[in-house]
Amino acid sequence: MAEQAKHRELGLTDAEFDLICEKMGRQPNDVELAMFSLLWSEHCAYKHSKKLLATLPTEGPRVVMGPGENAGAVDIGNGHSIAFKVESHNHPSAVEPFQGAATGVGGILRDVIALGARPIAMLDSLRFGEPNTERTRYLVDGVVRGVGHYGNSMGIPTVGGEIEFAAPYESNPLVNAMCVGIARTDEMVRAAAKGIGNKVVLMGALTGRDGIGGASVLASAELDEGDSDKRPTVQIGDPFEESKLLECCQELLREGLLVSLQDLGAAGLTSSAGEMASAGGTGIDIDVSLVPLREADMEPFEIMVSESQERMLGVVEPARVDAVLAVCEKWQTGSAVIGEVTDSGTFRILDGGETVGEVEVEDLVDGCPVYDLDPEPPTEWIYPNDAVLGEDAGPEEAALALLGSPTIASKRWAFEQYDTLVGSRTVIRSGEGDSSVLVIPESQRAIAVAIDGNGRRVGCDPYSGTIGVVLECASNLACVGAEPLGVTNCLNFGNPEKPTVAWQLTESVKGLGDACRALDLPVVGGNVSLYNETPSGPIYPTPVIGMVGEVGDPAKSGGRAWGEGDAIALVGPFDPSLAGSELEKLRGQLGPGLPEVDLGSVAEAIAMVRKAVGAGEIECATDVSDGGIFTALAEMALAAGVGFRCDLTGLMARTECAAEDALFGEGPGGFLLAGSPQTLEALGGHGVPVEMIGSAGGSSLFARAGDLELELEPDEAGRAFESLAGLIEP
């Protein structure tokens, strides 16, 4: 019974413990049990999502590395590749926001470094509760500081991101970080331990007790009222130590001194060494007595599962060990030979020559049972949604409420805390365009990067909502003329053992796959974060999509600011609806259901806008998203300091929508382009709707939809749009 209690404390079920005993032919000792509890956790084994993820498209002509590696990579030309991935650090950030966010950035940086790539940009996708609570303000302050602290301290710009606020994230925030890096394709490495007799070298910081049990105890279970007790499982980060480790790894790979490289993240040495042995089809020996420690009295199981940051594991040919250690010494980063690759197929843990743990690599890494979900749609709306806007509010009041709503309002207060220009690659950064644009002189090209999510709409309809998120990300790239090359994703959901969450996850992954196939986009990697819920309930189902695209000429990538006298066109098969909209949220009227999406028509519109912007025909473009057309027009007007007059009556006639839907309705497939009337009219005739709706000029923000008129002064619109900054101060 004592053993049963111990494995439950570590997150293993009784059936899983029995299976481990069956595979081993005995009960595991403390070292082995700790190792199994981590690699069989949801965080490491993906046991509730692996079958779903296998349905996603992963092949493409530009794919260099796909799922299964530390990060995905796509060919950007001239012998170079772009590596990128997004991962979550949700539960650690709920417990300790600054270090949780900082080490989340550190972890995703090491995933990209492990491929042999140099990180060149960071993006983030953050979710919090409503900003009028003390807890939300505390979390926002810590997370935003943590995100900027780590990457910027290493000289890596934070070039883009998004922040949304809603009650379901109150106790369980989402902190998703995306890293983009560049590598010479022929110098990239895979995380496979090959070569019998090759040595295993641990590089980087000392190993301590921080992060012990994080993957199983913290990341693979729901948070509860005692989550502050889990504070010791949150890692402590040191970006300056990681900066030295980055340069060290770059030199080792450039000199061809490493057979393979793997970062130490969740589950520490257990996952990194075990997964390397599994990928190489080999065995591996690790001697914990050789691991440089921060605390001298650590037990073998603590050393094996510690999640101390800033560490990498390399496989090195014996003849090159001295050269590797010399490079590590040059960069003042710690190093030690701690093990060897074997032909045993066994993961053996030694302590000064004495065996203290021994498991089959296949059992540990690939032996975890994979579960079928029991999906069942909810019978009622399950998320809190208090009204903050009355039913009798007029169009001006509704428009100001939307511009000031925490999800839509300006995030300048956040991104101005970040260094967006360090590294001298940034052409378009946060707030300047729908996507960030970076020059890549190594390939004589440029890339655009974007990250998007919309838990509110996915909560209303996981399938259509997820399609909308993918289309939103591709649309953002199109607005700067970028052709998307690949997708990474972070699937943030509640407890998959509950039927409603299982249904949300199943439908969302189906939508992700269908959208990527329609856009001919491969999914090259990602992350799944489950059990994001507390006693008050689950988060909104929140798939976050990261995308990298190729830009032909960054000088032609436009922004959102139009000029006096520009004509304004609505382009695309936009069919606005208030279902799942931000306005419905403000009214407390969110509920299940979204209109179906015509994927083919929207894909055609995205392609047309991308080509027009890329050819230099359009210098001002944005897609219609949260808050609908009027909100998008207002944001463009505020960016330019130039007002507009627009008439949406034609949209009402084409789509048979109501006036309020035309002004504030949402849905994929809508773009606002500004420029000369002749240029905009020339876009017609390609099967994509193009409707001239007005012009830029003057100072007021005016729109008409049928008999409904709406006019705002720029000062009041600007005050509403900038109002969030005063609410989130801790």
Rounded-to-integer distance, Cα 423 and Cα 130, Å:
35
List Cβ neighbours of 429 (8 Å cut-off, separation of 6 or more): 157, 159, 160, 415, 420, 421, 436
Structure tokens at 482: 């970028």
Mean pLDDT (whole number) for 664-684: 96
Say what the pLDDT of residue 550 is: 97
Tokens linked to 637 = 């007007």
Q: Considering the domain boundaries, does residue 69 fall inside one?
A: no
Check: CB of residue 84 under 8 Å from CB of residue 121: no
Report the run of H or E that residue 396 belongs to, with start and end.
Answer: helix 395-404
pLDDT band, very low/low/confident/very high, at 716 (cuts 50, 70, 90): very high
Q: Is the dihedral of CA 466, 472, 473, 474 positive or negative?
A: positive
Q: Provide CB contacts within 8 A for 500, sequence distance 6+.
A: 376, 377, 378, 382, 538
Q: Which residue has the higher pLDDT, 301 or 561?
A: 301
Structural domain contains residue 412 = no
Q: What is the mean pLDDT of the chain?
A: 93
In this predicted structure, the answer to whether residue 236 has a pLDDT above a threshold of 80 is: no
- CB neighbours of 216 closer than 8 A, spacing ≥ 6? 10, 11, 12, 37, 38, 41, 43, 267
Q: pTM score > 0.75 for this model?
A: yes
Percent of the chain, pLDDT > 70? 96
Q: Which residues are catalytic?
A: 43, 89
DSSP string covering 346-357, please? EEEEEETTEEEE
The torsion of the CA quartet 123, 129, 133, 139, rounded to 10 degrees, works out to -40
CB 162 within 8 A of CB 212: no
Pairwise CA distance, residues 165 & 455, whole Å: 10
The confidence score (pLDDT) of residue 432 equals 83
Total number of domains in the chain: 2
Looking at the predicted structure, is the pLDDT value of residue 219 above 80?
no
352/344 Cα distance (integer angstroms): 20
Lookup: tokens for 592: 């299940």
Whether 305 is covered by a domain: the verdict is yes
Q: Examine the fold and report which residue of 368, 384, 413 is the final residue of a domain before the chain moves on.
A: 368
Q: At what angle do helices 714-721 and 628-640 cross, to 10 degrees?
A: 100
Task: Give the pLDDT band (50/70/90) at residue 243.
Answer: very high
Place of tokens 């970080």: 177
Predicted local confidence at residue 76, as pLDDT: 96
Residue 1's pLDDT is 40
- The closest of 130, 132, 236, 114 to 173, measured between CA atoms, is 130
pLDDT over 90 at 173, yes or no: yes
Q: 216 pLDDT band (50/70/90 cuts)?
A: very low
CATH number at residue 573: 3.90.650.10
Vertex 373 angle, CA 372 and 375, to 5°: 150
Q: Would you say 455 and 126 are in contact if contact means Cβ atoms under 8 Å apart?
A: no
Q: Is residue 519 part of a domain?
A: no
Is the model's pLDDT at 217 over the cut of 90?
no
How do residues 491-506 score in pLDDT, each as one tens digit?
A: 999 999 999 999 999 9
pLDDT tens by residue, 590-648: 999 999 999 999 999 999 999 999 999 998 999 999 999 999 999 999 999 999 999 99
What are the structure tokens assigned to 451, written together?
Answer: 């990250």
* Domain final residue, candidates 330, 352, 368: 368
Question: What gap in Å lies between CA 346 and CA 341, rounded to an integer?
Answer: 10
Q: How far apart are CA 671 and CA 624, in angstroms?
A: 6
Query: What are the two backbone dihedrals, phi and then psi, of residue 662, each rounded to the nearest 5 degrees?
Result: -60, -40
User: Taking residues 431-449, what's their average pLDDT?
Assistant: 91
Radius of gyration of the chain (CA): 26
pLDDT band at 3 (very low <50, low <70, confident <90, very high): low
Phi and psi at 519, nearest 5°, equal: -95, 0
Query: How far is the C-alpha of 89 from the C-alpha of 39, rounded, in Å?
Result: 17
Do 356 and 349 meet the contact criterion of CB atoms below 8 Å apart? Answer: yes
Q: Which residues pair with 546 in a beta bridge?
A: 451, 488
Of 174-178, 418-422, 645-649, the range with the lowest mean pLDDT is 418-422
537 sits in which H/E element: strand 537-538
The per-residue pLDDT for range 13-22, each reduced to its tens digit, is 999 999 999 9
Average of per-residue pLDDT across 668-679: 96
- Segments forming the whole domain that contains residue 14: 1-40+189-368
pLDDT at residue 730, rounded to an integer: 56
Long-range CB contacts (within 8 A, 24+) of 354-359:
356/29, 356/31, 356/288, 356/300, 357/29, 357/31, 357/32, 357/35, 357/300, 357/301, 357/304, 358/32, 359/24, 359/28, 359/32, 359/35, 359/36
Q: What are phi and psi of 36, to 5 degrees?
A: -65, -40
pLDDT band at 419 (very low <50, low <70, confident <90, very high): confident
Q: Is the separation of the CB atoms in 577 and 633 below 8 Å?
A: no
List b or e across 502-536, with b for residues whose CB sees 16 or more CB atoms inside 10 angstroms. bbbbbbbbbbbbbbbebbebbbbbbbbbbbbbbee
Q: For the residues 372-385, what does the mean pLDDT come to?
A: 94
700 located within any domain: yes
> What confidence tier does 233 reach under pLDDT thresholds 50, 70, 90?
low
Query: Over 50: is that where the pLDDT of 218 sits?
Result: no
**For residues 182-189, average pLDDT:** 93
60 found inside a domain: no
Q: Which of 368, 392, 426 is the last residue of a domain?
A: 368
Taking the C-alpha atoms of residue 695 and residue 674, their distance in angstroms, rounded to an integer, is 8
Q: What is the arithmetic mean of pLDDT over 351-355?
A: 93
Residue 200, pLDDT > 70, answer yes
Whether residue 52 lies inside any domain: the answer is: no
Q: How far is CA 570 from the centre of its chain?
A: 30
Residue 503 falls inside a structural domain: no
Spatial separation of the C-alpha atoms in residues 391 and 397, rounded to whole Å: 11
